[in-house]
Amino acid sequence: MMSAIRSLCIPKPRFGSFLRALFGLATVLLLPVIASAQTAFSGTVVITSNTAVPSGSYTLTSLTVQSGAVLTIGGGSTVTVTGGVVVTQSSSIVLQSINNTAQVNGVWAGAGVTLNAGSVEVDAGSSINADGQGYVAQAGLGAGHGGYSNNGGSYGGLGGGQAAATIYGSATAPVDLGSGGDQYGATGSAGGGAIQMLVSGTLTNNGVISANGGNALGGIGGGGSGGSVYITANALTGAGAFTANGGANPTPTEGNGGGGGRVAVYSASAVGFTGFTASTASGGIGISNASGSAGTAAFFDTSATNNNVSVYQNFVIPANSTVQYSSLTVTHGGLLTIGGGSTVTVTGGIVVTQSSTVVLQSINNTVQVNGTWQGVGVTINAGSVQVDAGSSINADGQGYVAQAGPGAGHGGYTNNGGSYGGLGGGQAATTIYGSATAPVDLGSGGDQYRLYGGAGGGAIRLVVSGALTNNGVISANGASAMNDAGRFGRIALRHGQYTRRCRCVYGEWRSQLDGELREWRRWWPRGCVLRQCPKLYGIQRFDSHRGQRQW
pLDDT digits (tens, 9 = 90+) for 407-441: 998 866 668 999 999 999 999 999 999 999 999 99
Q: Quick one: average pLDDT of 168-180?
A: 98
pLDDT at residue 506 is higher than 70: no
pLDDT at residue 140 is higher than 90: yes
pLDDT score at 347: 98
Q: Which residues contact 105 (CB under 8 A, 6 or more apart)?
A: none
pLDDT score at 116: 98
Give me the residue spans of the domains in the chain: 6-303, 333-481, 490-550
pLDDT at residue 468 is higher than 60: yes
- Write out pLDDT tens, residues 71-106: 999 999 999 999 999 999 999 999 999 999 999 999
Instruction: Report DSSP letters for 21-53, one per residue.
Output: HHH--PPEEE-S---S-GGGS-EEEEE-S-EEE
φ, ψ dihedrals at 155, nearest 5°: -160, -95
Average pLDDT, the chain: 83
The Cα–Cα gap between 122 and 440 comes to 50
pLDDT score at 414: 67
Percent of the chain beyond pLDDT 90?
Answer: 69
- Quickly state the pLDDT bin for 148 (edges 50, 70, 90): low
- Bridge-based pairing of strands 473-475 and 517-523 is unpaired
The Cα–Cα gap between 179 and 300 comes to 26
Q: Quick one: average pLDDT of 274-290?
A: 91
Sheet with 517-523: strands ordered across: 517-523, 504-510, 490-493, 538-543, 548-550
- Write out pLDDT tens, residues 190-246: 999 999 999 999 999 999 999 999 998 766 789 999 999 999 999 999 999 999 999
pLDDT score at 453: 85
pLDDT score at 452: 78
pLDDT score at 74: 98
- Write out pLDDT tens, residues 285-334: 887 788 999 999 999 999 999 999 999 999 999 999 999 999 999 999 99
- Write out pLDDT tens, residues 9-44: 323 333 344 333 333 434 444 544 443 334 468 999
pLDDT score at 251: 74
pLDDT at residue 271 is higher than 90: yes
Tell me 280's DSSP state. Answer: B
pLDDT score at 466: 98
- What are the DSSP E strand ranges found in 478-524? 490-493, 504-510, 517-523
pLDDT score at 372: 97
pLDDT score at 247: 94
